[in-house]
Amino acid sequence: MFENHKAPEADKILRVMKMFAEDTRADKIDLGVGVYRTPEGRTPVLAAVKQAEARLLESQETKGYVALAGDPGFHGAMRDLALGDAVAAGRVAGLATPGGTGAVRQAFELIRIARPEAVVHCSAPTWPNHESILDTLQMPWRSYRYYDAATGGVDRDGMLEDLSQVAAGDVVLLHGCCHNPTGADLAPEDWSAIAETLLKAGAVPMVDLAYQGFGLGLEEDVAGLRRLASAVPEMLLTISASKNFGLYRDRVGVLLAVAETPAVAAPVQDTMAWLNRQAYAFPPDHGARVVTEILGDAGLRALWEEELAGMCGRVRSMRVALAEALRAETGHAKFDFLLGHHGMFSRLPASPEQVAALREAHAVYMIGDGRINMAGLVPDNVAPAARAIAVVLE
Ligand code: LMR
């Protein structure tokens, strides 16, 4: 079976993770994979998570199966966090999944079942795994204009023009906030314009929300999503708790499918549970329960919000420090576009050769498309990172 087997190529994020791990230089700087790090370079377990886990350890009396779709209490907690009261709860089907990627995969599977001919439209660029999973499922997808490298912002007119030409029944994949890989987010009025455009086209939005709380704040980051959700009859929403709860390895995600009415949502809920059964039967529960415990307890929730604001603030301060250091290094403000971005990422206007030069000559690691993770910066490495970027990109 395996004599002629060739492994698929790892995606560009995983390739950078591997190269960084293998680099023995002491002063290497990791601006690659999108994980949060403290100034000491650790990805910490949040205190709110530790406390919730301690409570669970104390109170949990069974490890018996929960349900194919996971715990409805978890779906509800995540729905409230992301959607607030933008959509009536009865219209929302929920599915616990292994991480946000599991939710994306199950959302695509659901689209394939519900509307096999649908084309999924992804922003140009998008998280590489969106495209890779679609390819793996042999689902048709296309790109719509999104990032304007000349301004470092969103190509609003190009995007709306492309979305207006989407076929009825197609799916349009959007990033809820902290666009990955560019950091260029939609303004609230862009979300209203997208809602209008998709309604006219008869297309269904799918929103991937992996960084709620890492942009402008927990509520601010989903204001646009809520505008969209309250305007459209149907929507898919995939949520990750990896970053904002720091639960990366526990794999905590949820897929929410919004249907026009509760009666329409019911069979969708059953299909989603069936999809879990086909993939891994019951979804992981531990991390989902930790999240539910935190969100449902005023004290834990306040602690979590404080810790999340702290992580977000640190990333933001590194963003500002990098922009300032680049200004000092280059003597101009060309890199000030970084200040308009949200979340962990921004995309530098670097060619693949320049990315390679930064890696090889300066031990500064970023994704091949120029994506940098601000959480890899600490006060001590901002200046050398900026110097290297200035030397190679100028
Ligand atoms: C990233 O974009 O770096 C993260 O979402 C990690 C991953 O799985 O790609």
Buried b or exposed e, range 343-365, using 16+ CB within 10 angstroms = bbbbbbebeeebbebbbeebbbb
Ligand 1 centre to CA of 386 (Å) is: 23
Question: What are the tokens at 7?
Answer: 């492994």
From 129, 240, 243, 367, give the residue whose CB has the most ligand 1 atoms within 8 Å, as the site to mutate.
Answer: 129
Give yes or no for residue 17 CB within 6 A of ligand 1: no
Give yes or no for residue 211 CB within 6 A of ligand 1: no
Q: How confident is the model at residue 101 (pLDDT cuts 50, 70, 90)?
A: very high
- Give per-residue pLDDT as tens, 187-239: 999 999 999 999 999 999 999 999 999 999 999 999 999 999 999 999 999 99
Q: What is the pLDDT of residue 272?
A: 98
Give yes or no for residue 34 CB within 6 A of ligand 1: yes
Residue 56: how many other CB atoms lie within 10 Å: 14
Question: What are the tokens at 47?
Answer: 């205190």
Q: What is the torsional sign of CA 26, 31, 37, 42?
A: negative
* Residue 41: DSSP 8-state: S
- Give per-residue pLDDT as tens, 332-381: 999 999 999 999 999 999 999 999 999 999 999 999 999 999 999 999 99
Q: What is the pLDDT of residue 394?
A: 87
User: Which atom of ligand 1 is the closest one to the Cα of 129?
Assistant: 9
Q: How confident is the model at residue 244 (pLDDT cuts 50, 70, 90)?
A: very high
Catalytic residues: 127, 208, 210, 243
Peptide bond into 125 cis (omega under 30): yes
Give yes or no for residue 152 CB within 6 A of ligand 1: no
Across residues 254-260, what is the average pLDDT? Answer: 98
Nearest Cα residue to atom 5 of ligand 1: 34
Q: Nearest CA to 225 among 82, 122, 92?
A: 82
- Give per-residue pLDDT as tens, 48-99: 999 999 999 999 999 999 999 999 999 999 999 999 999 999 999 999 999 9
Ligand 1 centre to CA of 14 (Å) is: 8
Give yes or no for residue 13 CB within 6 A of ligand 1: yes
Give yes or no for residue 126 CB within 6 A of ligand 1: no
Q: Nearest CA to 205 among 241, 173, 162?
A: 173
Q: Nearest CA to 326 among 378, 392, 390?
A: 390
Please check the confidence at residue 288 and state whether its pLDDT lies above 90: yes
Please check the confidence at residue 174 and state whether its pLDDT lies above 90: yes
Ligand 1 centre to CA of 127 (Å) is: 8
Across residues 89-111, what is the average pLDDT? Answer: 98
- Give per-residue pLDDT as tens, 4-49: 999 999 889 999 999 999 999 999 999 999 999 999 999 999 999 9
Q: What is the pLDDT of residue 18?
A: 96
